[in-house]
Amino acid sequence: MQTAIQPEKVPRKNLIAIFAIALMAFLGILVETSMNVAFPALMKQMHVSLNTVQWLTTGYLLTVALLMITSAFLKQRFTNKQLFVAAAMAFILGDLICALATNFPILLIGRLIQSGCAGLAIPLMFNIIVESVPRSRLGFYMGMAGLILMIAPASGPTFGGLMVYLANWRMIFWSTLPVETLILILGVTAIKQFSTVKQVRFNWLQFILLAVAFISFTLGVNSVSSAGILSWQFLGGVILAVVAVLLYVQVSRRSEQQLLKLEIFKNPVFTYSFFAYVILQFCNIGINFALPNYAQIVVGATSLIGGLMLLPGSLITAILQPWFGHLLDEHGARLPILLGSSLFLVAALIFTVFGQNLSIVLISAMYILFSIGRSMAFSNTLTNGLKEVDISQRADANAIYNTGQQFAGSLGTTILAALMSSVKVSGMSYAHETAIGSQLAFGLIFVLSILNFGFYFIVFRYQKNDK
């Protein structure tokens, strides 16, 4: 009689380290969208428009994306413990500035500083998992890490709505301050080093070119609602972004140290998995911005209801997330990815069809379907793509995935905010204009959900073994 082979165990100290950095990443991402539900109040209090106030999320995500560009360099240059402490201190400092902010510019500065937590903690979380977890358990632990990236943004509006209801938007920052301090104490002794630190040189030219590309493209897209798609602001931003990317390609080819090693994109499974992955994140962050604002502006719900309506979907997805990773480990990537994408598409279709007449109950029900489908596909797309990359390239692949998903999130907020505020009809109420604009935003998500099936078709055509 043969004894079944048990999965390799992860050492207790490694589990504590993973738990601590996962909590830090969760908190860093939670505050990304926690302010979304407070936007209507901030617009009145600080006299700013929806397109302006959304920079509290867009700017946060864009800064995280820029930091993630450097994650492969940071992994070589600094120890895991140094990065962990730096992430915690960025969160604490940003928290204090935001909590004490007296105007919008100071609040935005605090948010940008606080984004350093997510920008450092997210790639550190994935790197520690890849280095400390055996391959036989990688699907489960990567699935749990994917849970952070999916549940935290969805939980943000619920958390923010509750804080606003109990006190005001400043409580979002005061309440997270002691939690981050406890996480710092928990993880600082458990974080271990798995690779040798090197004195590598940082390539500032490459970083500046990529920063110019990301920022100019985001600013260009943000100008569409006010200036139009044929404006010099939009076209100039896009052209400048393209030129910066082309210059980066030329510069990186001549350099021994590349911030993002683009040769990884020669692997078609990685490349098309990456395209699908960033689309899923674009839709996730975008809809987590759109729905709470839709509920308050169009339906007339309170900030608490606007946040709580997303909670059932977040909780159910959190419970099911380990099972999503188990599906990949047992049946391969094709089943959970295609099943999840199908559920995601159905939810996007219903949001689009009923976009002008959504109720709180319908939003909550469809968000459950949306969240389950997107989450099932999202985490397994990442795991499947990373498994196809050579171990020596995984840090760079991780940096590309994380940079892409954060930049996609910033674009999701920017573009959906632009679409929601794009309808201006004389004599029509602001609520009705927002409802029509929201339907356009939901329609974009539906189109992208269809596009993803094309990317997955290519992935599974090239992939010989999806386990």
**Highest mean pLDDT range out of 134-143, 164-173, 199-208, 433-442?**
433-442
Average pLDDT over residues 206-221: 88
> What six digits make up the tokens of 402?
């994380």
Nearest to 449 by CA among 329, 316, 350: 350
Q: What percent of the chain has pLDDT over 90?
A: 33
- Confidence category of residue 418, pLDDT binned at 50, 70, 90: confident
Nearest to 379 by CA among 417, 343, 351, 341: 341
Q: Please, is 96 exposed, middle or buried when counting C-beta atoms within 10 Å of its C-beta (0-12, 13-18, 19+)?
A: middle
Average pLDDT over residues 139-149: 72
Query: pLDDT tens, 254-289?
Result: 877 777 777 888 888 889 999 999 999 899 889 988
Handedness of CA 384, 385, 388, 393 (dihedral sign): negative
Q: For position 226, what pLDDT does the model report?
A: 67
pLDDT at 195 over 70: yes
**Highest mean pLDDT range out of 8-22, 30-44, 344-358, 375-389?**
344-358
**Given the structure tokens 């499974």, which residue do they identify?**
269
Q: What percent of the chain has pLDDT over 70?
A: 94
What CA–CA distance (Å, rounded) separates 367 from 402? 24
- Confidence category of residue 330, pLDDT binned at 50, 70, 90: confident
pLDDT at 137 over 80: no
pLDDT at 355 over 50: yes
Q: What predicted TM-score, i.e. pTM, was given to this entire model?
A: 0.78
Q: For position 8, what pLDDT does the model report?
A: 65
- Alpha-carbon distances of 230 from 208, 221, 235, 424, rounded to whole Å: 27, 11, 7, 18
> What six digits make up the tokens of 272?
């098309």
pLDDT at 150 over 70: no
Average pLDDT over residues 83-108: 93
- Confidence category of residue 44, pLDDT binned at 50, 70, 90: confident
Q: Please, is 41 exposed, middle or buried when counting C-beta atoms within 10 Å of its C-beta (0-12, 13-18, 19+)?
A: middle
CA 464 to chain centre: 29
What CA–CA distance (Å, rounded) separates 205 from 190? 36
Average pLDDT over residues 317-328: 83
Average pLDDT over residues 101-128: 90
- Confidence category of residue 466, pLDDT binned at 50, 70, 90: low
> What six digits make up the tokens of 207?
């970083």
What CA–CA distance (Å, rounded) separates 220 from 230? 11
Query: pLDDT tens, 341-350?
Result: 999 999 999 9
- Confidence category of residue 467, pLDDT binned at 50, 70, 90: low
Alpha helix segments (H runs only) across 70-203:
71-77, 80-100, 104-132, 138-166, 171-188
Q: For position 1, what pLDDT does the model report?
A: 40
**Highest mean pLDDT range out of 297-311, 336-350, 412-426?**
336-350
Q: For position 136, what pLDDT does the model report?
A: 66
The C-alpha angle with vertex 144 and arms to 140 and 150, in degrees rounded to 5, equals: 135
Average pLDDT over residues 225-240: 80
Number of alpha carbons in the 13 Å side-chain half-sphere of residue 14: 15
